[in-house]
């Protein structure tokens, strides 16, 4: 449970929370793409009817609720004496014959229950995924791929300029040669050097002189693979959107015939529909239990859109698990 709350806070342990991040890739670029993909995924959903703050009700934070759904895959809803109807992270427990959890163990800085809350009577669970898993593995998979591509792009830019190496016989010559390369990098049109740096090169007619610079390859275009890398970068972004169920307009060179287009649409929407069905079913259970009116819709472009009674068991003084509720 402690690990799950750390995941919820965002200060997570990679192995504990799962994911594709190799231990050595804790870079700013990777963090950037994790945040970028999370924000893109967050924009996929619109949530309506969350409980608002009022007498005896703390109200639900929109961002915190959606983060919990995306990160952990589910959110635990129950009545609290102090805060009213709340949503918190929890750990599934007490699996039954159908291998579905019967309860949720909730232990956070604000709630420390001594036994699990029974699902269906003492709490409801709003699920994004049927398997009680979040979608952070998708975010991290593509973030790692984009991180690798960004590193490759940066290296390709460096390689496209790397054609020479200089050989200095002492520190004085080294400093002179470094100055030459700095001036070249800054775009200076003419560079004056000490003639003593030159070394004679004999040919058939007369002696010539050149600087002690070794050239690796005159054809820098052989190392210029940036167009290919940018194409792969764009393809990776398209694959991520397909994972979310967002239709991607194919490139002109990849125009699809009718059957191929229908197959691509099915591939795009299948996973999103699984998430939507799971959300709708679990939200309905929550609404029926607590009389809420929560609804979640897919936030997609307009051209892609298709033209209760409270029967919950409110935890009482005699049957509720012992807990300590911390004031905010």
Domain boundaries, the chain: 1-163+220-328, 166-215
**N residues, the chain:** 328
**CB 79: neighbour CB atoms within 10 A?**
19
| C-alpha torsion sign, points 46, 132, 248, 238 | positive
Phi, psi of 290 (to 5 degrees): -120, 5
Q: Please determine, for residue 231, whether its predicted confidence score (pLDDT) is greater than 80.
A: yes
Helices (H), 79-122: none
Residue 68: both structure tokens together: 């919990």
Q: Please determine, for residue 124, whether its predicted confidence score (pLDDT) is greater than 90.
A: yes
Helices (H), the chain: 2-9, 14-17, 28-42, 62-72, 136-161, 171-185, 226-244, 258-290
Task: Write down the pLDDT at residue 195.
Answer: 61
204-208-209 Cα angle (round to 5): 150
What is the CATH T-level fold of the domain 1-163+220-328, as seen in this structure? Answer: Upper collar protein gp10 (connector protein) fold (2.40.500)
pLDDT in tens, 140-153: 999 999 998 988 88
Task: Write down the pLDDT at residue 196.
Answer: 60
CA distance readout (Å), 206 to 62, 280, 310: 81, 87, 102
3-state secondary structure of 199: strand
Please classify residue 201 by burial: count the beta carbons closer than 10 Å to its beta carbon, then call 0-12 exposed, 13-18 middle and 19+ buried.
exposed
Q: How far apart are CA 251 and CA 237, in angstroms?
A: 13
Highest mean pLDDT among 66-70, 298-302, 311-315: 66-70
Strand partners, 74: 127
Rounded to two decimals, what is the model's pTM? 0.67
Least confident window among 8-22, 57-71, 277-291: 8-22
């Amino acid at each position: 449970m402690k690990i799950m709350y750390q995941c919820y806070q965002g200060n997570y342990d990679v192995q504990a929370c799962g994911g594709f991040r190799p231990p050595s890739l804790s870079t700013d670029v990777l963090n950037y793409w994790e945040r970028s993909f999370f924000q893109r995924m967050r924009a996929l959903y619109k949530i309506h009817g969350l409980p608002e703050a009022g007498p005896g009700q703390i109200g639900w934070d929109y961002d915190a609720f959606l983060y919990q759904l995306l990160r952990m895959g589910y959110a635990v809803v129950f009545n609290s004496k102090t805060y009213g109807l709340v949503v918190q992270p929890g750990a599934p427990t007490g699996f039954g014959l159908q291998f579905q959890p019967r309860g949720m163990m909730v232990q956070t800085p604000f709630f420390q229950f001594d036994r699990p809350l029974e699902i269906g009577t003492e709490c409801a669970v709003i699920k994004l995924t049927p398997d009680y898993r979040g979608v952070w593995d998708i975010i991290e998979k593509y973030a790692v791929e984009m991180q690798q591509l960004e590193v490759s792009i940066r290296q390709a830019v460096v390689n496209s300029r790397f054609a020479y190496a200089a050989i200095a016989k002492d520190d004085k010559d080294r400093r002179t040669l470094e100055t030459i390369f700095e001036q070249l990098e800054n775009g200076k049109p003419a560079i004056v050097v000490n003639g003593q740096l030159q070394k004679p090169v004999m040919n058939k007619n007369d002696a010539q002189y050149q600087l002690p610079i070794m050239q690796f390859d005159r054809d820098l275009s052989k190392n210029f693979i940036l167009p290919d890398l940018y194409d792969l970068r764009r393809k990776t972004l398209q694959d991520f959107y397909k994972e979310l169920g967002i239709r991607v307009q194919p490139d002109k060179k990849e125009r699809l015939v009718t059957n191929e287009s229908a197959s691509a649409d099915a591939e795009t929407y299948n996973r999103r529909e699984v998430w939507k069905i799971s959300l709708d079913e679990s939200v309905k259970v929550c609404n029926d239990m607590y009389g809420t009116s929560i609804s979640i819709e897919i936030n997609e472009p307009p051209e892609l859109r298709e033209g209760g009674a409270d029967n919950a068991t409110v935890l009482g003084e005699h049957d509720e698990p012992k807990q300590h509720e911390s004031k905010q």
